[in-house]
Amino acid sequence: MTGYFLCLGYDARIGSVFGVYAMFNLPRSFSLQPKMLFVEKVTKETETSFDVEWSDVLRLTYLEIPAPARYSYVESKKLTVFGYAGPAVAVKIEATRHWEWGDESGLEDVDRIKSKDFGIVLGEAVEILSGKNVVIINTRYTLGLWNYFIKEAAQGPTVKNWALQALVGLGF
């Protein structure tokens, strides 16, 4: 499973997403589908300054708990197509920065990232019944609503997480 993440002038990079979910059926094709996901959001910036190439990779790792409501608009014995939307809470597990400046490089923890994020998740998915299991193909967009940097000054950057993710999963 992969996801994309972008901030400031950085380029999106592939990160990992995996986890578990449950589903609670409601009347009329509605259900609740809370999840617990391990999510990596990765971004990279590269540039040349004073004839020296440099790069900066920021990797944020979260335990994300989205709780979307879903609506199934195509339902058959073998196929279900649905859309979903809802809130998501994320707890930071790790924030690291890997930088390279010419021949020098380093890896460091980033302590200016807030420990929690709150946002919304929107997505579309297809479930295909395969025996007793379900294959899930899913695209989703998450948008953090809070600035994830701890501001040390009023003029500090305002940067929000967002990710476009393509997921493939197995339900049983």
Could you tell me if 114 and 92 are in contact, meaning their C-beta atoms sit under 8 angstroms apart? yes
C-alpha to C-alpha distance for 41 and 3, rounded to whole angstroms? 7
Q: pLDDT confidence of 156, banded at 50, 70, 90?
A: low
Which two three-digit tokens encode residue 35?
């999840």
| 118 within 8 A of 149, measured Cβ to Cβ | no
Question: What percentage of the chain exceeds 70 in pLDDT?
Answer: 88
- How far apart CA 42 and CA 55 sit, in angstroms, is 13
Least confident residue range of 10-14, 29-33, 77-81, 95-99: 10-14
Helix (H), strand (E) counts: the chain: 0, 12
Pick the CATH number of 2-171 from 3.90.226, 2.40.160, 2.40.50, 3.30.1490: 2.40.160
Q: Tell me the pLDDT tens digit for each residue of 29-73.
A: 899 999 999 998 887 787 777 777 888 888 889 999 999 999 999
pTM over 0.85: no
Question: What is the per-residue pLDDT for 162?
Answer: 83
35: three-class secondary structure by DSSP: strand
